[in-house]
Amino acid sequence: MTFSEPKFLVRLARNDHEIRAAQRLRYDIFVRELGGDGPMVDHAAQIETDRFDCYADHLLLIDSALPDEPVVGVYRLLPDDRAKAAGQFYSENEYDLSPLRKSGLRLLELGRSCLHPDYRGGVAMYHMWQALARYVEKHDLQVLFGVASFHGTNVASLAHPLSQLHDRHLAPPELRVRAHEYTAMNLLSTDAIERRRAAVETPALIKGYLRLGGFVGDGAYVDHAFNTTDVCLILDTKRMNARQRSIYTGERA
């Protein structure tokens, strides 16, 4: 898609047309690329949508260097007050969020995060994180969470990365959500984990949150409809150290 140096603009979707652009990118990534499906995937319109879209804010990453200013990255943001209006968080289909709800902290669910393939591995995600940091500050939120996915549903093939997440990044008890349809992540003993292999097999988005000080909940959730194995990521922004905060906000430590 991109043949020139990208010029990034990050902002919330302002109308239905821009939300549709986000849903088209989601379709390209989650359906075409990863083989997902679901009751609200519209193959004719080539959009991926669900009932939470109308309650959420949609953070868009736009490459304004290109003539048509395409949407090349998306985050769906569902603050706790909007989740109340929706009746639940999306993640509650997969995880028991009682520890987060009982914490008394303001919560923001992050969902449907994706980047166009041409923009992966660069600075695009950092632009989105910095816009996210501004959103969190504006709305006085503290704990960010949401499900992130490994491609495929063969859990045994993910033994090294899942075991490493459980071994090194399990959330503290007060924030430790648990999968409803529980699939154990500690498939290997500590000594049996191949650390390099685990790192290579962990998706970049998950590694990014770990660098920011994120944790994972207890247990994976196998989503057969979307052809993924999901983990729940939790990030308490107040626990970030200076280096992590500088990455997240774009300010010098």
Query: pLDDT tier at 243 (50, 70, 90 boundaries)?
Result: confident
Describe the chain by its helix, strand, coil percentages, rounded to 5. 40, 25, 35
Query: Rounded distance, CA 112 to CA 38, Å?
Result: 14
- Cα-trace Rg, the chain: 18
Mean pLDDT, the chain, whole residue set: 93
CA angle 71, 76, 79 (to 5 degrees): 145
Task: State yes or no: pLDDT of 67 exceeds 90.
Answer: no
Specify the amino acid at residue 213.
G
Q: Residue 69, exposed/middle/buried by CB under 10 A (0-12, 13-18, 19+)?
A: middle
According to DSSP, the β-strands at 107-115 and 143-151 are: parallel
List, in sequence order, every beta strand (DSSP E) within 13-106: 41-42, 47-48, 57-63, 71-79, 95-96
Residue 11: strand, helix, or coil: strand
pLDDT of residue 65: 87
pLDDT exceeds 70 at position 242: yes
How far apart are the C-alpha atoms of 5 and 37, rounded to whole Å? 33
pLDDT for 120:
87
pLDDT, residue 200, reads 96
- For 206-223, what is each residue's pLDDT tens digit? 998 999 999 999 999 999
Domains of the chain: 75-249 (3.40.630)
What phi and psi values does residue 3 have, to the nearest 5 degrees? -120, 0
Going from the C-alpha of 221 to that of each of 8, 62, 148, 179, 231, the distances in angstroms are 34, 32, 10, 6, 6
Question: Each residue of 89-102: pLDDT tens digit?
Answer: 999 999 999 999 99
The pTM (predicted TM-score) of the whole model is 0.92
CA angle 197, 198, 201 (to 5 degrees): 85
Helix, coil or strand: residue 145:
strand
Please give the structure tokens belonging to residue 6: 């990208």
**Please, which residues have CB within 8 angstroms of residue 190's CB and are 6 or more apart in sequence?**
167
Span 126-133, mean pLDDT? 92
Under DSSP, the state recorded for 218 is: B
Identity of the residue numbered 206? I
- Whether the per-residue pLDDT at 1 is higher than 60: the answer is no
- Mean pLDDT value of segment 232-250: 89
Q: What is the pLDDT of residue 213?
A: 93
pLDDT at residue 4 in the model: 66
- Beta-bridged to residue 98, according to DSSP, are none
Does residue 77 have a pLDDT over 90? yes
